[in-house]
Amino acid sequence: MLAREFGKRLRSLREDRGLTQRELATRLHTPVPQISRYETGFCLPNAETLAELADVLRIDLDELLLGRKNGNPGDEPQIKDVRLLERVQELEKLDRRFRDTAIAVLEAIIIQGHDEGVKARLTGSTR
């Protein structure tokens, strides 16, 4: 029962963080089928792997393993997508002109996404 619930939680967290099984496996230096075994509840990771999973997914170990949230709601990163969070962290290290350029590009992408969403709603199509 614990393994099955853990697997569901792991899959949900991985997807929320924008990672594929392959990307998670690469970050853990483990084969992709092993991630699948965890997610299907076939087995539980050992303690070392659990700690690595919590680190990669940026989540408290207790929440990862048992689903119990500890700490304050503000402790959770605002950006859940791990790849996006890593890029933002790298951008913060760059000179202001590069950050300003990245922000302008992001704003253009967001505006385009909103425009497409409005257009889809008006025409009745779904994505």
CATH of the domain at 21: 1.10.260.40
87-125 confidence digits (pLDDT tens): 888 998 989 899 889 989 988 998 888 888 788 888 886
Question: pTM score, two decimals?
Answer: 0.65
Q: What are phi and psi of 88, to 5 degrees?
A: -65, -40
**How far is residue 7 from each of residues 15, 44, 122, measured CA to CA in Å?**
12, 8, 39
Res. 11 pLDDT band, cuts 50 70 90: very high
Q: Domain range holding 101?
A: 82-123
Q: Are 6 and 66 in a shared domain?
A: yes
Q: Are 96 and 46 in a shared domain?
A: no
Res. 71 pLDDT band, cuts 50 70 90: low
All residues at 6 or more sequence positions from 125 whose CB lies less than 8 Å from its CB, including other chains:
none
Domain count, the chain: 2
In the DSSP assignment, the letter for residue 8 is H
